[in-house]
Amino acid sequence: MTVLNLSFAACGFLGIYQLGAVGALLRHGEKLLATVKACAGASAGALVAAVLVTAPDKLEHCKEFTYKFADNVRRQRLGAMTPGYDFMLELREGIEEVLPPNAHQVANEHLHISITHSRTGRNHMVSSFASREDLIKVLLASSFVPIYAGIRSVEFQGQKWIDGGFTDSLPVFPVGRTVTISPFSGSQDVCPRHTGRSNLQLKVANMTVNVSKENLIRFNQALFPPSLHRMKMFHHEGYEDALQFLRREKWTD
């Protein structure tokens, strides 16, 4: 049997789509998940992957946290960049609530997180975590967008790191098949259906997306979250798209 892995795209607040997809995998994709060797992700995708690997029982909690987090950002005059608002602190508190005490042990070699070196701009994949704190730091580093999320990049192992989405927004494993999940329409296994007239595609940091008005809106909503109603719609779409994938590939009973 082919080695199977999962990868979740960098997507900011549209990680809610991927949480919906994970919900479908947990409910209907037991056969698929039983064959998965590892999960990877960048930025919000890394956070979703971490939940699936270390705390799948906290999925509902993560959904509600994402809604609350998005609402707090919407309330700020300048969004996440509003002076006095600490985006990274709120994210860290959310991560702290979700990860179990042994999360780093569970995640070792099963969770692969994309981060970018702030000075060289080179990508680095982290899959070994000496402590829970190290895991948290890597997740925060993978989610840190300079200026938007703050000024100081995240330090890990004596080096400074920023969002992994800049250099590898959808990691693909070198061995086996990587099932890719993204809230942007494109060539991913689980993603929204492309509805535009043009079939033009663009590769952005290892993720192939359709050039469309819908995707441009989604990219904006990743950083500037839409209404709660729209967030819930994204969650439902992620669930349905993942369910369609499972049925299409005959992973359901």
- pLDDT, tens digit (0-9, with 9 covering 90-100), for 34-78: 999 999 999 999 999 999 999 999 999 999 999 999 999 999 999
- Is-catalytic flag, 189? no
Enclosing H/E stretch for 38: strand 36-42
Tokens found for residue 137: 């730091």
Query: Would you place residue 1 in the very low, low, confident or very high pLDDT band (cuts 50, 70, 90)?
Result: low
- The answer to whether residue 185 is catalytic is no
Catalytic: which of 43, 114, 153, 212?
43
Best CA proximity match to 106, nearest among 132, 124, 137, 80: 132
- Which secondary structure element, helix H or strand E, spans residue 160, and what is its range? strand 159-163
Based on the number of CB atoms within 10 Å of its own CB, is 248 exposed (0-12), middle (13-18) or buried (19 or more)? exposed
Local confidence band at 101 (pLDDT 50, 70, 90 cut-offs): very high
Contact (CB, 8 A) for 59 and 51: yes
Mean pLDDT score of the chain, rounded to an integer? Answer: 96
Residues making up the chain, counted from first to last: 253
Residue found by looking up tokens 């967008």 in the block:
145
Q: Please identify which residue in the block is written with the tokens 């990508």.
A: 123
Which is it for strands 159-163 and 111-117: parallel, antiparallel or unpaired?
antiparallel
Q: Do residues 179 and 4 lie in contact, with contact meaning Cβ atoms separated by under 8 Å?
A: yes
Q: At 133, list the tokens.
A: 């704190």
Which of 163, 168, 189, 241 is catalytic? The answer is 163
